[in-house]
Structure 1
């Protein structure tokens, strides 16, 4: 028989290492969760900007011959719509001209200026028929 006994349990050093690893893990989990909450807030703000842009587009299915230059503010967002004639390379009396609409939505996010820009094409509004007498 030897004078050594089998050791059971953890030493103080092993406990300190285990607590250090656990503390680092908990810190990383808190950081990840905080980042996810912040990202969810930013995503919601951006989604509202997209919905506002889609609403503004839905109001404009055609563009007047002179184009559009509009701006305004809604729900903490500043928006502007600008149009420019879009060259399709096709001309003729029966061809409806197209305008490229650019919608810019801007907002402040915690002191940082954010913006979203969407572009699309819309046909030019046909002139109303003149009533002849």
Structure 2
């Protein structure tokens, strides 16, 4: 199509192609933005799970002789703590028995089940000293 001054205008086909390119670009932009928001939500849930796990581990600085088995739920997170003796190959009256303590925190995100597992070592609680008379 020619205009009065010899300038050429856009054809309908060129206009449709421009709109299609713009629509594809906007679709990709929305997808990228949505992924960023979703990732931020995932990070926040993992941070909450880590804070819960650290708080539970901070409850005890030693493990009873029979071990530590405990489970519960808090704010939509399920948690489980288990311990087992940890062999160091060392023994003696001043060397504490160690336990490997594992904590698993799980939560649901729609259809998916997410989990965070932490492991640490804690000394076994010493029995109370016998009073000699």
TM-score normalized by structure 1? 0.87
How many angstroms apart in 1 are the aligned matches of 2:71 and 2:123?
20
1:57 aligned residue: 57
How many angstroms apart in 1 are the aligned matches of 2:9 and 2:129?
95
Alpha-carbon displacement from aligned partner over 1:3-36 (angstroms, at most 9, x marks no partner): xx75344333322222111110001111111122
RMSD value over aligned CA atoms? 1.6
1:1-133 alignment runs, 5 A limit? 6-133=6-133
Task: Structure 2 unaligned segments of length 5 or more: list them.
Answer: none
In the alignment of these two chains, the number of paired residues is 129
How many angstroms apart in 2 are the aligned matches of 1:89 and 1:132?
31
Alpha-carbon displacement from aligned partner over 1:14-70 (angstroms, at most 9, x marks no partner): 222221111100011111111222222222111111100000111121111111111
Alpha-carbon displacement from aligned partner over 1:106-127 (angstroms, at most 9, x marks no partner): 1121132221111011111122
How many angstroms apart in 2 are the aligned matches of 1:93 and 1:56?
29
